[in-house]
Amino acid sequence: MTINQVTSRALSILLISCISILGGISVANADAVSDGKKVAFDRKKGNCLTCHMIAGGSLAGNIGPPLIAMKARFPNKADLRAQIWDPTHKNPNTIMPPFGMHRILTEKEIDLVTEYILSL
């Protein structure tokens, strides 16, 4: 093999690896969004529909803001996660429950809900 053939082969392997990794991230993210929606809509868990209008949800509440354009509202995912974890940190008078601080949701469930809400 010439050096060009080796280089070309190495680049091909690298490109295929990157595509595989990126494809896996997309699938994993899609799964996290789907799982997060289940937690958010579960009346015994996230119960987000009690207060928020969410596309695809039924019997939505109107106490909280509609959950739309969330990437624009929370460009930093950590800020959204912190809001779900303990909304009283930014607004002590909020009626939104502190899902993490009061252990209503697990760490993993909060991560999943965060992924879902960010996808809206």
Q: Tell me the per-residue pLDDT of 24-82, one tens digit each, with 9 for 90 and over.
A: 445 668 889 999 999 999 999 989 999 999 999 888 889 999 999 999 999 999 999 99
Q: Model-level pTM?
A: 0.75
Using an 8 Å Cβ cutoff, are 85 and 110 in contact?
yes
- The distance in angstroms from the start CA to the end CA of the chain is 51
Nearest CA among 45, 69, 44, 41 for reference residue 57: 41
pLDDT above 90 (res 19): no
How far is it, in rounded angstroms, from Cα 104 to Cα 87? 13
pLDDT above 60 (res 6): no
Q: Which fold has domain 31-119?
A: Cytochrome Bc1 Complex; Chain D, domain 2 (1.10.760)
pLDDT band at 8 (very low <50, low <70, confident <90, very high): low
